Amino acid sequence: MTTLTADLPTNYLTKEHTIASWLLTKDHKRIALLFFASITFFFFIGGFAATLIRLHLVNPAGNLLQPDIYNRMFTMHGIVMVWFFLIPSIPTTMGNFFIPLMIGARDLAFPRINLGSWYLFNLSGLFLLYCLFVGGVDTGWTFYTPYSTLFANGHVIPAAVAVFVNGFSSIMTGLNFVVTIHRLRAPGMTWMRLPLFVWAIYAVSVVMLLATPVLAMTLALIAIERWMGVGIFDPSLGGDPLLFQHMFWFYSHPAVYIMILPAMGLVSELITCFARRPVFGYSGMAYALMAIAVISFFVWAHHMFVAGISIFSAVVFSLMTFFVAVPSAIKVFNWTATLHKGSITFDAPMLYALGFVGLFTIGGLTGLMVATLAVDIHVHDTYFVIAHFHYIMVGGTVSAFFGGLHYWWPKMTGRLYPEMWARVAAIVTFLGFNLTFFPQFILGYLGMPRRYYAYPPDFQVWHVLSSAGASILAVAYTLPLLYLGWSLIWGPRAGPNPWRATGLEWLTSSPPPQHNFARTPIVKAPPYQYNPADGSYVAQDGSVHA
Amino acid sequence: MSVGKPEPIAPYVIGWAVMMLLLGLSVLSAYLDIGIFHPVVNFGIAATQAAIIFIIFMRLRGRPSLKWVFAAAGFFWLMFLYGISTVDYATRSGFPSQ
Amino acid sequence: MQWVPFWPRDASVTAQSIDMLTIGELALVVVILGFVFGLMIVFGLRYRRGSSADRSHLVEKTWHWEIGWTVGSLAAFLVLFVWGANMYVWLYEPPPADLEIYVVAKQWMWKAEHPGGQREINELHVPLGKSVRLLLTSEDVVHSFFVPAFRVKHDVLPGQYETFWFKPTETGRFLLECTQYCGTQHAHMGGVIVVMPQTEYARWLTIQGVHQSLAQQGEALFRKYGCSGCHDPNSTVHAPSLAGLYGSIVHLQNGETTIADERYLRDCILLGASRILPAGYPPVMPAFAGQIGEDDLIKLVAYIQSLAQTQRASR
Amino acid sequence: MRSLAPEPQFATLEQQTETAQLGMWAFIATEVMFFGALIFTYMIYRVTYWEQFRLAAHDSQILNGSINEALLLTSSLTMILAINYGKAGRNDRLVAFLLATAFLGLCFLGVKGWEYVEDYNSGSVPSMNFLFKSDYHAPTELFWIFYWISTGFHTLHVTVGIGLVMLLAWQAHRRKFSPNYFSPLEVVGLYWSFVDTVWVFLFAAIYPLGRAVT
CB distance A233 to A142 below 8 Å: no
Query: Which of B6, B30, B58 is facing D84, going by the closest CB pair?
Result: B6
- Does A12 map to a domain? no
Q: What is the pLDDT of residue C251?
A: 83
Q: How far is C151 from chain A (nearest CA, A)?
A: 5
CB contact under 8 A, A365 and C29: yes
Cβ distance B94 to C256 less than 8 Å, yes or no, reads no
- CATH homologous superfamily for the domain C99-206: Cupredoxins -  blue copper proteins (2.60.40.420)
Contacts of D27 in chain A (CB under 8 A): 175
- Mean pLDDT within C43-56: 90
- Is C214-314 a CATH 1.10.760.10 domain? yes
Give the distance from residue D161's alpha carbon to the nearest chain B alpha carbon, in angstroms.
15
Mean pLDDT of chain A: 93
- The domains of chain D are located at 31-206
* pLDDT higher than threshold 60 for residue B96: no
Instruction: Dihedral sign for Cα A180, A186, A190, A195, please.
Output: negative
A85 touches A46 (CB < 8 A): yes
Q: Which of A349-353, C56-60, C274-278 has the highest mean pLDDT?
A: A349-353
Query: How confident is the model over C70-90, as a mean pLDDT?
Result: 89
pLDDT at A183 over 70: yes
Q: What is the pLDDT of residue A3?
A: 44
Number of domains in chain A: 1
Q: Which of A215, A367, A187, A185 is closest to A292 using CA atoms? A: A367
Q: Mean per-residue pLDDT for A194-216?
A: 96
Please report the pLDDT score of residue A442 as a whole number: 94
pLDDT in tens, C271-281: 776 667 777 78
Residues 6+ positions from A165 with CB-CB distance below 8 Å: A120, A123, A124, A127
Q: What pLDDT, on a 0 to 100 scale, did the predictor assign at position D1?
A: 40
CA atoms of A432 and D197, how far apart (whole Å): 54
| C174-179: average pLDDT | 94
Please report, rounded to a whole number, the percentage of residues in chain A having pLDDT higher than 90: 87
Average pLDDT per run of 10 along chain D, which is 214 residues long? 72 89 95 96 89 85 95 96 92 95 97 95 84 68 93 96 97 91 93 96 92 66
The verdict on residue A13 lying in a domain is: no
Q: Identify the pLDDT of residue C2.
A: 66
Sheet containing C123-127, strands listed edge to edge, beginning at the edge strand earlier in sequence: C123-127, C190-196, C172-178, C143-147, C152-156
* Confidence bin at A4 (pLDDT 50/70/90): very low
pTM of the predicted model as reported, rounded to 2 decimal places: 0.92
pLDDT for A320-334, tens place per residue? Answer: 999 998 899 989 999
Higher pLDDT, C252 or D214: C252
Q: Is B8 exposed, middle or buried (0-12, 13-18, 19+ CB in 10 A)?
A: exposed
The pLDDT tens digits for A105-116 are 999 999 999 999
* Closest CA relative to residue D108, chosen from D71, D80, D162: D71
What pLDDT is stored for residue D34 in this prediction?
A: 96
pLDDT digits (tens, 9 = 90+) for C177-234: 999 999 999 999 999 999 999 999 999 998 887 778 888 888 888 888 888 888 887 7
Neighbours of chain D (3+ CB pairs under 8 A): A, B, C
Structural domain boundaries enclosing A472: 23-545
Contact D197 B27 (CB under 8 A): no
Residue D61, pLDDT score? 92
Contact B96/C276, CB-based, under 8 Å?
yes
What secondary structure does DSSP assign to A401-454, as a single string?
HHHHHHHHHHHHHSB---HHHHHHHHHHHHHHHHHHHHHHHHHHHHT-BTT-SS
Residue in B67, B76, B79, B88 to test binding to A, most A beta-carbons within 10 Å = B88
The string of DSSP codes covering D128-178 is TEE---SSS-HHHHHHHHHHHHHHHHHHHHHHHHHHHHHHHHHHHHTT--B
Q: Average model confidence (pLDDT) for chain C?
A: 86
Indicate the pLDDT class of residue A355, thresholds 50, 70 and 90: very high
* D-chain residues near B31 (CB < 8 A): 211-212
Asked if residue A472 belongs to a domain, the reply is yes
Query: Could you tell me what percent of chain C has a pLDDT over 90?
Result: 42
Residue A3 in domain: no
Residues of chain A neighbouring D147 (CB-CB closer than 8 A): none
Q: Flag if D88 and B71 touch (Cβ within 8 Å).
A: no
Confidence band, pLDDT 50/70/90 cuts, at residue A6: very low
What are C122-164's pLDDT values in tens digits?
Answer: 999 999 999 999 999 998 899 999 999 999 999 999 888 888 9
CATH, residue A296? 1.20.210.10
> Chain A closest CA to B85's CA: distance in Å?
7
Say whether pLDDT at B97 is over 60.
Answer: no
Instruction: Name every residue whose Cβ is closer than 8 Å to that of residue B84 and which is 6 or more positions away in sequence.
Output: A298, A301, A316
Asked, for residue A176, whether it belongs to a domain, the answer is yes
Q: Which CATH number fits domain D31-206: 1.10.1040.50, 3.40.640.10, 3.40.50.10470, 1.20.120.80?
A: 1.20.120.80
User: C117 and C213 in contact (C-beta within 8 Å)?
Assistant: yes
Nearest by CB to B82, which of D26, D40, D203? D40
Which pLDDT tens digit goes with each residue over A509-525? 989 998 899 888 999 99
Report the alpha-carbon distance of residue B44 to residue B58 in Å, rounded: 20
